[in-house]
Amino acid sequence: MEAIREMVEQESAGSRSPAEGARRASGAGDPWPFEEPPDPEVEEKPKRRVFTAEYKARIVAEADACTKPGEIGALLRREGIYYSNLSKWRQQQKAAAMEALSAKKRGPEPDPTVPFKKRVAQLERENETLRKELAKARTIIDVQKKVSGLLGVPTVPSDEESS
C-alpha cells in the first residue's frame, strides 16, 4: 500500500520515472496535444490542376533547352509537376505536329443527316403525287354523281328496292 501512496505523491509533485519522461517527451502520453478541437466539417474535394496549351508548350521548350544533368529535375520540382506530365505533353506535341503535317481530305465535311434528308424529300414527293391523284379521283366521283343524277340513275341502291 505504501508503494502506491508514494507513486501517487510523486505524480502529484511532478516527479516522474525516467521511462515515463521519455514517453511524455514524444507527446504520446498527452491526451489532447492540440489547443482547440479540429473542425468537424469535411473539406471540399480538391480541384485538379488544369494546364493550358501555352503552359505545356513553355515547359516542354524549357525541358528541351536543359543540357546539364539535373536541370530537368530542378525544372519539374520548381513547377511542381511530374516527369510523366512532361512525357505526355511531349507525346501530345508530337501527335499534334504529325496531325498538322498529315494530308487531309479536301472539301466540306460530310453531313451525317444526308441519307435521312434524301428519304424525307422522296417521301414528300410521293405524298404530293398521292394528293394530286386523290384530288383527281374525288373530281371523277363528283362528276359521276352529277351525271347519274341528270340521267335519273340511282347511285346508291335504296332499302326498298333491295327487299
Instruction: Indicate the pLDDT class of residue 45, thresholds 50, 70 and 90.
Output: confident
Q: To the nearest whole number, what is the mean pLDDT of the chain?
A: 81
Checking if the pLDDT of 46 tops 70, the result is yes
Q: Where are the domains of the chain?
A: 53-101, 114-154
Cell of 109: 465535311
What is the sign, positive or negative, of the torsion defined by CA atoms of 103, 106, 109, 111? negative
The model carries a pTM of: 0.40
Rounded Cα distance between 76 and 63, Å, is 9
Give the pLDDT of residue 25. Answer: 52
Instruction: Name which of 88, 90, 66 is nearest 78 in CA terms.
Output: 66
Rounded Cα distance between 94 and 25, Å, is 57
Say which residue, 87 or 110, is predicted with more confidence. Answer: 87
Q: Which segments of the chain are extended strands (E)?
A: none
At 65 the three-state DSSP class reads: helix
